Amino acid sequence: MKKLFKTLPFLALLILVSSCSSIRVATDYDKNANFNEYKTFAFYKTGIDKAEISDLDKRRILRAIESELLAKGFTKSENPDLLVSLFTKSREKINFYNNGFGPYGYGWGWHPWYWNSYHTSSVSRSTEGVLYVDLIDANKKELVWQGMGTGYLSQNMEKKDARIKEFVAKIMEKYPPGMAQ
């Protein structure tokens, strides 16, 4: 029983950390598109320029997308089958934690030693981001596939590059649609 109580905080921390690092992915696509026809790609500058993120982050995302598409057998081309665009959204989440009355075990209500109790609170901030990757049929100028990844972002420069690669990889896992994942 003591061993259970020792490992319980570790398991709770592990669940918390793994839930924060997860990326939720959703995709949508044109059911009439023949995804086997698409072999080449280029970036759609007009769409990418509208993304409201730093140029450094845009380049990180574009490099990650290019790497994923090349790994899937695509070729970068001046006359592409697909145009790749992206869009981003983010929102700051503020979480307020109220830790109650510390070691005394009192919860709601009054107790005579209120002035002597521990009452702690903390605030944490995190940024939740959404990355949309749009694949557009270059000939028809129609959106044929969209992948969306939602998760928490890192402001730490060393972790940012890895996090962006993780976002893009998770999204691009779902392309092309209908393939066994």
Q: Is the pLDDT reported for residue 11 higher than 70?
A: no
**φ, ψ at 151 (rounded to 5°):** -175, 180
Question: Strands 142-152 and 121-137, how do they pair?
Answer: antiparallel
Q: For residue 17, is it within any domain?
A: no
Residues in a beta bridge with 124: 95
Count of domains forming the chain: 1
Residue scoring higher pLDDT (108 or 151): 151
Q: Is the pLDDT reported for residue 132 higher than 60?
A: yes
Long-range contacts of the stretch 49-52 (C-beta < 8 A, 24+): 50/87, 51/86, 51/87, 51/88, 52/88
pTM above 0.85, yes or no: no
Q: For residue 15, is it within any domain?
A: no
Range of the domain at 147: 25-172
pLDDT for the residue numbered 142: 96
Q: E strand or H helix at 76, and its extent?
A: strand 75-76
Q: What percent of the chain has pLDDT over 70?
A: 72
pLDDT band at 64 (very low <50, low <70, confident <90, very high): very high
Q: For residue 31, is it within any domain?
A: yes
Q: For residue 180, is it within any domain?
A: no
Average pLDDT (10-26) is: 57
> Any idea what the CATH number is for the domain that residue 82 is in?
3.30.160.670
Average pLDDT (96-122) is: 57
Q: For residue 10, is it within any domain?
A: no
Residue scoring higher pLDDT (114 or 172): 172
Q: Is the peptide bond before 176 cis (omega within 30 degrees of 0)?
A: yes
